[in-house]
Amino acid sequence: MAIALDVALAHLTSRKRQTLVSLTGVVLGVAFFLAVSSLMRGSEKDFIKRLVDNSPHITVYDDVRHGRAQPAELRWPDAAVSVRNVKPPRETRGIRGWPQRLEFIEALPGVRAAPVLAGAAVLTFAGRQQAVTLSGAIPEKMKQVTVIEEKMTAGSLDALAADPNGIVIGQGLVDKFALHMGSSVNVLAADGTSRPLRVVGIFRTGNAAYDEGQAFVLLKRAQALLGRENRVNRVIIQLADPYDARDVAQTIEAASGYKSVSWVEASEDILSLLLVRNVIMYSVVSAILVVAAFGIYNTISTIVMEKTRDIAIMKAMGFHARDLKRIFLLEGLIVGLIGSALGVLLGLVLMGALGQVAIRPPGVSEVVRLPVWWGAEQYALAVVFAMLSCLAASYLPARRAGAVHPVDILRGAA
Amino acid sequence: MSDAAAPAMPVIRVENVTRTLPGEVPVTLVRDVNLAIERGEFVCVMGPSGSGKSSLLYLLGLLDMPTSGRIWIDGEDTTRFDDDKLTDFRLARLGYVFQFHFLLAEFSVVDNVALPIRKLGRLSDDAAHDRAAQLLDRLGLEGQHAKRPSQLSGGQRQRVAIARALANDPLVILADEPTGNLDSAASANVRDVLRGLTRDLNKTVVAVTHDAQFAAAADRRIGIVDGRIDLAWRPA
């Protein structure tokens, strides 16, 4: 191996300009690979973080994925059973025995949960009406699983616990109805039940539809208004590690029977889109390295052509075909290694520079920095791809060198 | 019969060797050659251009394989060797000198000579360089070790090529027109060096040459015409 390395280095150093051009191709390829990859992955991570932070990691609904099996189907599982005119029992909808289920969920490691009863209601004030989603919650638990408390511009969720007739509404509704803290609004449920409630908190999320269409009351108050005593119709869950959501959701669904939807399942289409985007991005940046590989192929091919006599005499002296192949593969490997190392360094500089770029999207007052991801796997990916490209580029010339027949060359030279 | 009384086995024995290049019109380069060369013998192969001299040398040097016939070197039937064995045999037992020196331009003189020693792997890299330096000194190339081949004269380069051929202490040196590119003084020097190898080191030298003066120093001259050995052939 030492001889092969000596010869490979001698070949490369004797053609400094060609080697430098090949090397530059790999350096730029790896650097741009890293720069683009860090930006794309950075924006992906940023997007997912926003997705995960602003929505429940898991939501347990008062619903089931599959209808309950009929006794006849259970009795004769292999038979062609047809049960007609099945009517589900009339009952108040909601998660049955939710305190026990909540206890089970909260006992799972790294899990925080809050029961919610959400239903449609109409807010009326001074003859004006607005349909809202009324969410009954336990303030103490709700604060643990949502960021709504951080979005409060006046009052707090805790005020609901102190005032059972309180309501927390969004800034959109406040603006629309010209309300203020302490204003009294009337809440009308679907069955006609109506109750005046006092504004004890105002939130602003920036999402206009949410700020106009969402209201929070105490869970007991919502149960009374919506006519669903002792029921909740969803449990909102946050996890210590959001990426455990799929597994935890399966565990909860298996134990409770209620449909548990993780954020991964709820955002499957977006995550698929991100995956496709990554495939496209890596295909494009890899193309740079493929082009760089052509430079290496050209350099090593030229060396093989120019050194045919040397190759012939080395074979005549007692070098095996595999020894000659190794020399030229090493040349590709050396260019790949040095190019990758320098490319990673240049890539880090580019990534640092991109991380400093500040932009202000139209209509947004906050300055946003480009999201750069510094994860280790992209370096490994860039280096592995660069090395494979270099080896592939040197393989054909190396094979040609190994196939040189000394006599053919010596006859020609004589 | 005791070993001492046994006749010395020829270092090279060629038996009914024919080499034909395949093709639409097959070309026979060497035809039905029989030959025996003793240890320490200096043999020149001569003949007109295209007569098959170099082809015979490539066969003796195991760079080419006969279409038929057998070649024994040091008692081993080399026609039975596979490619790996042939390569290893060439490295350890044979040395080559060509009309063109074929030294690696990027390497120093001493590195060129050390290359086959390092490849054989019996000596460390340092020891290989020491041996290469000794060989160069023996061939009158003191003080030239660190130079590149391009910095030497034609005669010096050819002596470096001879030193490289001797690197692994081979049984046989095969030389193809070793003085073909040299002036008369350098030719005489190379001839004397090769002659010295047979006398002083008991090496066998087989050289193809057109040079009658060079051939005059040989123990034996073999004529070859149209691929056949022609004992009656004499240079014009």
pLDDT 10s digits, B152-198: 998 899 889 999 999 999 999 999 988 887 788 888 888 888 888 88
Q: Are residues A121 and A45 in the same domain?
A: no
- Which residues in A lie closer than 8 A to residue B115 (C-beta atoms)? 3, 314, 317
Beta carbons of B19 and B28 less than 8 angstroms apart: yes
Please list every residue in chain B whose beta carbon sits closer than 8 Å to the beta carbon of residue A414. 54, 98-99, 176-177
Residue A116's CB is within 10 A of a number of other CB atoms, namely: 24
Same domain, A109 and A17: no
Nearest CB neighbour to B87, from listed A2, A320, A414: A320
Taking CB atoms and an 8 Å limit, are A410 and B88 in contact across chains? no
Domain assignment of residue B151, given as a range = 12-229
pLDDT at A192 over 70: yes
If phi over 0 gives left and psi between -120 and 50 gives alpha, with beta otherwise, what is residue B177?
left
What are all long-range contacts of A75-79, with beta carbons under 8 Å and residues at least 24 apart? none
Q: B154 near B182, Cβ under 8 Å?
A: yes
pLDDT at residue B1, rounded to an integer: 41
Element (H, E) at B110: helix B109-120
CB contact under 8 A, B91 and A313: no
Q: Do A120 and A220 belong together in one domain?
A: yes
Q: Are residues A136 and A285 in the same domain?
A: no
Residue B129 has pLDDT above 90, yes or no: yes
Nearest CB to B176; choose among A309, A323, A414: A414
pLDDT of A33-49, one tens digit each? 999 999 988 988 888 88
Last residue of a domain, one of A233, A258, A283: A258
Closest chain B residue by Cα to residue A404? B63
Euclidean distance between CA atoms B7 and A27, whole angstroms: 68
Quick check: A157 and A168 in contact, CB under 8 A? yes
Whether B76 and chain A come into contact, CB under 8 Å, resolves to no
**Closest-CA residue to A215 (of A155, A177, A161, A169):** A169
The pLDDT assigned to B65 comes to: 93
Q: Are residues A207 and A327 in the same domain?
A: no
Residue B222, in any domain of the structure: yes
Categorize the per-residue pLDDT at B3 as very low, low, confident or very high, splitting at 50, 70 and 90: very low
Residues A39 and A101 in one domain: no
Please state the domain count of chain A: 2
Query: Looking at beta carbons, which residues of chain B come within 8 Å of A331?
Result: none
Alpha helices in A55-170 (DSSP H): 71-75, 98-107, 139-145, 158-162
CA distance B196 to chain A (A): 22
pLDDT, tens only, A107-135: 999 999 999 999 999 999 888 889 999 99
Asked whether the beta carbons of residue B63 and residue A309 sit closer than 8 angstroms, the reply is no
- In Å, how far is A398's CA from the nearest CA of chain B? 18
Residue B180 belongs to some domain of the structure:
yes
DSSP code at position B9: P
Query: Which of A26-30, A74-78, A391-395, B92-96 is predicted with the least confidence, judged by mean pLDDT?
Result: A74-78
Does residue B107 carry a pLDDT above 90? yes
Task: Specify the DSSP element, H or E, that contains B96.
Answer: strand B94-97
Residue A155 clears pLDDT 80, i.e. is over it:
yes
pLDDT of residue A413: 53
Is the Cβ pair B118, A3 closer than 8 Å? yes
Contacts of B99 in chain A (CB under 8 A): 413-414
Is A265 part of any domain?
Answer: no
Domain-embedded: residue B5? no
Give the gap in angstroms from C-alpha A390 to the nearest C-alpha of chain B. 23
Does residue B25 sit within a domain?
yes
pLDDT in tens, A207-250: 788 889 999 999 999 999 998 888 899 999 999 888 899 999 99
Encoding tokens for residue A144?
């643990």
pLDDT confidence tier of residue B2, bands split at 50, 70 and 90: very low
Q: Which of A197, A134, A122, A187 is CA-nearest to residue A167?
A: A197
Q: How many CB pairs under 8 A join A and B?
A: 71
Residue A381 and residue A232 share a domain: no
The structure's pTM equals: 0.73
Residues A207 and A231 in one domain: yes
Tell me the average pLDDT across A96-113.
Answer: 92
A304: confidence class by pLDDT, cuts 50, 70, 90? confident
How close B164 comes to chain A (CA, Å)? 9
Integer Cα distance of A22 and A298 in angstroms: 9
Query: pLDDT band at A365, cuts 50/70/90?
Result: low
Average pLDDT, chain A: 89
Lowest mean pLDDT among A147-161, B43-57, B182-196: B182-196
pLDDT exceeding 70 applies to what percent of chain A?
97
Q: How many domains does chain B have?
A: 1
Per-residue pLDDT at A363: 61
Which CATH number goes with the domain that contains B205? 3.40.50.300
- Mutation choice for B interface testing from A9, A313, A324 by most B CBs within 10 A: A313
The distance of A385 to chain B (nearest Cα, Å) reads: 31
- Please indicate, yes or no, whether residues A375 and A229 belong to a single structural domain of this protein: no
How far, in whole angstroms, is CA A358 from its chain's centroid? 23
φ, ψ of residue B151 to 5 degrees: the values are: -90, 0
B116–A318 C-beta distance less than 8 A: yes
pLDDT at B149 over 60: yes
- Higher pLDDT among residues B2 and A176, named by residue: A176
**Does residue B186 lie within any of the structural domains?**
yes
Domain contains B102: yes
- From A237, A258, A279, give the residue that closes a domain: A258
Contact A410 B98 (CB under 8 A): yes
User: Searching chain A, which residue's CA lies closest to the CA of residue B116?
Assistant: A317
Contacts of B54 in chain A (CB under 8 A): 410-411, 414
Asked if the model's pLDDT at residue A360 lies above 90, the reply is no
Nearest to A316 among B54, B63, B168 (CB): B63
**Residue at token pair 């093989």:** A304
Specify whether A399 is located in the same domain as A287: yes
Report the gap between the CA of B116 and the closest CA in chain A (Å): 7
- Tell me if B4 is assigned to some domain: no
Pair (A188, A302) in one structural domain: no
pLDDT bracket for residue A251 (50, 70, 90): very high
Percent of chain A whose predicted confidence (pLDDT) is above 90: 49
Helix (H, G, I), strand (E, B), or coil: what is residue B49? coil
Neighbours of A299 (CB within 10 A): 27
How far, CA to CA in Å, does B9 sit from each of A62, A204, B32, B85?
A: 100, 105, 21, 22
Average pLDDT of chain B to the nearest whole number:
89
Q: Do A407 and B120 touch (CB under 8 A)?
A: no
Q: Quick one: pLDDT at residue B4?
A: 47
**Same-domain pairing of A165 and A282:** no
Containing B212, the helix (H) or strand (E) segment is helix B212-216
Mean pLDDT of A86-90: 71
- How big is chain A by its Cα radius of gyration, in Å? 34
Q: State residue B7's pLDDT score.
A: 55
pLDDT at res. A369? 85
| Residue B90 touches chain A, beta carbons under 8 Å | yes
| Mean pLDDT for the stretch of residues B75-94 | 93
In a domain, B1, yes or no: no
- Top residue of A1, A410, A411 to mutate, by most chain B CBs within 10 Å, is A410
Q: What angle do CA B69, B72, B35 make, to 5 degrees?
A: 70
Residue numbers of the domain that contains A136: 92-258
Answer yes or no: do B106 and A10 touch at CB < 8 A: yes
